[in-house]
Amino acid sequence: MSQPNSDPVPASANRNSMIFIVVAALLIGSFLYRVLVPAHEYAVRPDQLLTMAIDLALIVSLVGLKQRAQLPGGTILFWIALIAGVGLFAIRLLGDDQWWTGHLVYYIEPRRF
């Protein structure tokens, strides 16, 4: 006997949900890393611009995937990740060191001879 279809979840919905979780985790993890770990050197200009472009692409992806991801608690994850993504750019507005490094704290370690 065959069982009746219980409205299976399409594979694309599952894939969108997984991508949504990965993008949210990248934004939140990157924000926590840049807040908690101090930077010890300035990035070169292309590295700085590439990092900002990746952060922006992740935010755009997060917003685009919000409607397609069908997760319980997905709205809460979306808002936390969106705040973290905006926070990544807000850190850069705090000063010259933060603008170049993207980290909240910057200091040069003393040399060891």
pLDDT single digits (tens) 36-53: 999 988 889 999 999 999
Is the residue at 62 inside a domain? Answer: yes
Is the residue at 6 inside a domain? Answer: no
Q: Predicted confidence band at 100 (pLDDT cuts at 50, 70, 90)?
A: very high
Half-sphere exposure of 78 (CA within 13 A, CB side): 18
At residue 74, the pLDDT reads 81
Distances (CA, A) of 18 to 25, 53, 66, 88, 97: 11, 22, 11, 23, 35
Is the residue at 37 inside a domain? Answer: yes
Is the residue at 31 inside a domain? Answer: yes
CA distance 104 to 97: 8
Domain count, the chain: 1
pLDDT at 7 over 60: no
For range 58-74, the mean pLDDT: 86
Q: Is 39 helix (H, G, I), strand (E, B) or coil?
A: strand
Higher pLDDT, 22 or 5: 22
Domain hosting residue 71, numbered range: 15-101
Query: Element (H or E) spanning 28, and its range?
Result: helix 11-36
Is the residue at 5 inside a domain? Answer: no
Q: Predicted confidence band at 109 (pLDDT cuts at 50, 70, 90)?
A: confident
Is the residue at 4 inside a domain? Answer: no
Q: Predicted confidence band at 25 (pLDDT cuts at 50, 70, 90)?
A: very high
Q: Are 88 and 81 in contact (CB under 8 A)?
A: no
Q: What is the pTM of this model?
A: 0.82
Say how far residue 64 (Cα) sits from the centre of its chain: 14
